Structure 1
């Protein structure tokens, strides 16, 4: 069993501000990544969701990490169906998209030829990581309004086509994909396209999330993301951002319990990635360390 544990990001403002994870002399982006990579074998890049990644940054990440370090890359939000402001796009691509008169752009607003360039640019940004053998999965966390059905399935298929040379992991946020009616067909779709089903840990009592199914759809990789279990914060009203829903500190008992299913899925795959997305202060890093001890790694 090869199980890699890490956190979603290493530059969160609250992580740096709490001063509990990084040594006092880690004051630069380079120093922080080098230190993080000395503690964990895996990290999820979440900045690539908010803005398009660049080949220059990917090359820096390669240089600043050990040879066996792995980056999972979160797909850019426009590609996963989320609302996107023009300012987060490369200038040439933003200028090529007709004005809609609205603050946000969606995938449907982008002309086909511009989408081709956007996807090409996105893949190009990942090449330094892939060439160095440090690219794990490209994580497509689809928008919560992307429902299971002809349109939703077509978009998942398009993403698979556009990224067929990469290991793609899929996390659904709409419950329709993995409910009793559609779970079998959804998992079959993922298996047919060799997409990695992302197993999530999240509050059990909320409805605006996909179901947790401990299933493997790609024999090369299992992917587990832990979001926390606070139902009140998950659906908090009036919060300025969604980050508050992931403010959760797993207990040692909870981590011991979840280590069993993680071991089970790891026996069905070549590798297993476990990412803590409870990214407030050093919660994710502390929890990842504890889980690594429990798993004996």
Structure 2
């Protein structure tokens, strides 16, 4: 069975900070990350989706965590086709014109290449310290299956190399009965890790949680099943506590998935208060996996 690492999709969310999960004396960004890393061996970096961090910021993350800790880092949203506020770009790379939001095609080739260069520079301290798990390419819900979309995915993944790449697809066209095998085969042929998501079903953005490994690393992200998923309210959208029976069943499924790969990353993204941390700890216990610095069952 492959190595299983369990963590959450945030360590600095304001709702988490206000929840009281961190002791009052742990009141700095570095202190909070260090406290988190004493309890979990894995975290997802979400802030990089909204803006490319500075290399000094990433170096600070490394300094706050022990050897063996792992960061899965979301790619900057412009790279995956999301509409991006111009203000999220460095001033010298912003295109001329009055638009407040842009897509990647609105940039010159030189500016786009430079953004990728800065993204690599930002992640370099994490990779150099052997703490980079994978770059997560989270594509928008409107990316429908097709040859052009596949070329877009391959190009973004190529720009992430030599790092491992996870791909999260959020349009149902990739997972219809006649498409799912092709989707899995496509990812496997290009050495890309399929990112499985547990989420509410029956919504336009819903995709099924298909548990399969397409590379040496597999990733499963847990959104929960809030009835308010389509509300647009982030706090309510992720307000969900996994029940004991759900977590037991998922622990069985995750062990089976870990038999298909060298490493499995499990990330709780029901980030409302400290619910993700609580559910991650319960799931890790069911899986019998160690938290950072402690043997399993400690």
Q: Which residue of 1 aligns with 2:69?
A: 69
Which residue of 104, 115, 120 maps to 1:123? 120
Write out per-residue CA displacement over residues 208-253 of structure 1, whole angstroms, 9 at most, x where no aligned residue. Answer: 22222111100x21100000112x31112xx3x5453222111111
Which residue of 185, 190, 198 maps to 2:195? 198
Return the offset for 1:91. 1.7
Write out per-residue CA displacement over residues 8-58 of structure 1, whole angstroms, 9 at most, x where no aligned residue. Answer: 110111111111x11120111111011000000000010111111221111
Q: In structure 2, the residue corresponding to 1:43 is in which secondary structure?
A: strand
Q: Which residue of 2 aligns with 1:3?
A: 4
* In structure 2, distance between residues paired with 1:78 and 1:173: 16
Q: Is 1:209 the counterpart of 2:206 in the alignment?
A: yes
* In structure 2, distance between residues paired with 1:161 and 1:243: 35
Q: Quick check: 2:251–2:286 contact (8 Å CA) kept in 1? A: yes
Q: Quick check: 1:179–1:211 contact (8 Å CA) kept in 2? A: no
Q: In structure 2, the residue corresponding to 1:79 is in which secondary structure?
A: helix
After TM superposition, list the pairs within 5 Å mapping 1:104-253 onto structure 2: 104-218=101-215, 220-230=216-226, 232-236=227-231, 239=232, 241-242=233-234, 244-253=236-245
Q: Quick check: 2:198–2:208 contact (8 Å CA) kept in 1? A: no
Q: Is 1:18 the counterpart of 2:19 in the alignment?
A: yes
Q: Which residue of 2 aligns with 1:39?
A: 39
Q: Quick check: 1:140–1:169 contact (8 Å CA) kept in 2? A: yes
Q: In structure 2, the residue corresponding to 1:165 is in which secondary structure?
A: coil
Q: Quick check: 1:5–1:42 contact (8 Å CA) kept in 2? A: yes
Q: Quick check: 2:134–2:163 contact (8 Å CA) kept in 1? A: yes
Q: TM-score, normalised by structure 2?
A: 0.93
Q: Which residue of 2 aligns with 1:52?
A: 52
- Aligned alpha-carbon RMSD (Å): 1.3
Q: In structure 1, the residue corresponding to 2:272 is in which secondary structure?
A: coil
Q: Is 1:98 the counterpart of 2:96 in the alignment?
A: yes
Distance 1:172 1:77, change over 3 A: same
* In structure 1, distance between residues paired with 2:53 and 2:257: 31
Runs of 4 or more consecutive aligned structure 1 residues displaced over 2 Å after TM superposition: 204-207, 241-244
Write out per-residue CA displacement over residues 65-96 of structure 1, whole angstroms, 9 at most, x where no aligned residue. Answer: 000100000111111111110111122222xx
Write out per-residue CA displacement over residues 266-297 of structure 1, whole angstroms, 9 at most, x where no aligned residue. Answer: 01111100000111100000000000111112
Q: In structure 1, the residue corresponding to 2:228 is in which secondary structure?
A: helix
Q: Which residue of 1 aligns with 2:296?
A: none
Q: Quick check: 1:168–1:196 contact (8 Å CA) kept in 2? A: yes
Q: TM-score, normalised by structure 1?
A: 0.94
* In structure 2, distance between residues paired with 1:258 and 1:172: 21
* In structure 1, distance between residues paired with 2:12 and 2:218: 25
Aligned residues: 288
Q: In structure 1, the residue corresponding to 2:265 is in which secondary structure?
A: strand
